[in-house]
Amino acid sequence: MITLAVLFISPLLSFAGEKGENSPAFYYTIKKGDTLWDLSQRFYNSSWEWPGLWSINQQLTNPHWLYPGNKIRIYLKDTLTQPSRPPKQPPIIVTPKILPTLYYPAMDGISFIRQHPIPSLGRVIKGEQDQVMITENELVYIEVTGSTPMEEGQKYLVFSTEPIFYSKGVTDGEDRIQGILHQIKSLVTVLENHGTYVKARVINNFRYTEAKDRVMAYEKKKPHVKIHPCSEDIQGRLIRSDDNDKLLGNNAIAFMNLGETSNIQKGQIYNVLKPHAPAGRSLKVTISPSIIGKIIVLHTEKRTSTVMVLSNRREISPHAFIGKADNISVFQSSHDM
């Protein structure tokens, strides 16, 4: 049978084998609709021989792409050896997971609450024009009070401190813990160093700089905050707002009484809750609190976090309750806001 085939196609015979193949071969011209699967069935009595047929035709970069008019080599043997190259699979396109991002350009001016005050490098003496409130682009004199010198050309943060008290838990029976609010006032750059004092310029003003404000080292903070899912349910509470406002609206900055020790992370979003007071003593049903807004964590300390109000359905109290966005715990209704 093979002999007859050789005689019939003798004008196209080739005995120059490749990849160890030494059997006679001929070239077949691809026609519209041809596939390696069908050609394997046709010439080798088995569609499953197509990987071998592809292997001996190195010009085929993809076994699924056969173009009419192109030629492929057919060896005259009953079966083909296993391919020397693994069959190519269609490329798997992996779409990267893109996390939503919040852009907050004033990140360098974020205030925070820490258990102990940061050691101060210096103290503001006065503005060059003896003004009470020093603003952007104005000159300021700073007394060097720390052991680390303030170098010319370097940037520093001006801040003030204020002791505050807040409840560690969400019930009034919890012990109250003292914390120190570090409120960032401005960003300055040192122009002249005179040993015991420096002359600096305010290059970014978050609040008015005043005499007796302190100075700390500056570390640039990225303004982009990647949104992260909440890892677990929480029962938190706001301590106060940054500006000590009585009510909070959109974009207001506040502080929460949970931090890194409670697995709070920058970029997490939580719900602001309004508990329901019982309608009467006979009421035995506990009603879940209403969601009145959302906050996002901008900065974390060990036991506190700095947050921003993302949205609010009504004005938020600076002592509002905080819970996980998708798993809200029921707080005691006696703590109505």
In the structure, what pLDDT confidence band is assigned to residue 98 with cuts at 50, 70 and 90? low
Residue 61 confidence (pLDDT): 78
Return the CATH fold of 2-75. Answer: Membrane-bound Lytic Murein Transglycosylase D; Chain A (3.10.350)
The answer to whether residue 297 scores a pLDDT higher than 50 is: yes
Find which of 42-51, 66-75, 300-309, 319-328 is predicted with most confidence, using mean pLDDT. Answer: 300-309
189: closest CA among 159, 215, 155? 155
Q: Which of 22-36, 186-200, 293-307, 310-324 has the lowest mean pLDDT?
A: 22-36
- In this predicted structure, the answer to whether residue 108 has a pLDDT above a threshold of 80 is yes
pLDDT interval class at 57 (50, 70, 90) = confident
pLDDT tens-digit readout, 35-55: 888 888 888 887 777 888 888
| Residue % of the chain over a pLDDT of 90 | 41
Q: What is the mean pLDDT of residues 17-39?
A: 71
What's the CA gap between 92 and 148, in Å, rounded?
56
Mean pLDDT of 84-89: 53
Rounded Cα gap, residues 33 and 287, in angstroms: 68
Q: Please compute Rg for the chain using Cα positions.
A: 37
Q: Which is more confidently placed, 198 or 327? A: 198
Q: What gap in Å lies between CA 107 and CA 259, rounded to an integer?
A: 18
pLDDT score at 53: 81
Closest CA to 321 of 273, 286, 278: 273
More confident residue, 236 or 92: 236
Percent of the chain with pLDDT over 70: 74
Residue that the structure tokens 């609206």 belong to:
249
The predicted pLDDT at position 166 comes to: 61
Task: Give pLDDT, residue 191.
Answer: 97
Given a cut of 70, whether residue 167 has pLDDT beyond it is: no
CB burial of residue 131 (10 Å; 0-12, 13-18, 19+): middle
The pLDDT tens digits of the residues spanning 138-162 come to 999 999 998 889 999 999 999 999 9
Contacts of 100 (CB under 8 A, 6+ apart): 226, 227
What residues does 248 pair with on adjacent strands? 316
pLDDT of residue 23: 52
> How far is it, in rounded angstroms, from Cα 267 to Cα 295?
10
- What is the pLDDT of the chain when averaged over all its residues? 79
What does the pLDDT read at residue 217? 96
Q: What is the pLDDT of residue 327?
A: 42
Q: Is the pLDDT of residue 286 over 80?
A: no
- Look at residues 185, 254, 174 and name the one whose alpha carbon lies nearest to residue 215: 185
Q: Which of 253, 259, 276, 266 is nearest to 336 (CA)?
A: 276
* 8 Å CB contact between 150 and 193: yes
Mean pLDDT, range 163-173, rounded to an integer? 59
Q: Is the pLDDT of residue 307 over 70?
A: yes
Residue 52, pLDDT score = 80
Map out the domains of the chain as residue ranges: 2-75, 111-217, 224-324
> Looking at residues 257-269, what average pLDDT do you find?
91
Query: Distance (Å, rounded) from C-alpha 68 to C-alpha 216?
Result: 75
Q: In this structure, what token pair is assigned to residue 40?
A: 């394997």
pLDDT band at 63 (very low <50, low <70, confident <90, very high): confident
In 35-56, which positions are buried (b, 16+ CB within 10 angstroms) versus exposed (e)? Answer: ebeebbeebbeeeebbbbbbbb
Q: Going by CATH, does the domain composed of 224-324 fall within 2.40.10?
A: yes
CA distances to 135, 152, 188 from 245, rounded to whole Å, are 22, 38, 27
- Domain 111-217 sits in CATH at 2.40.30
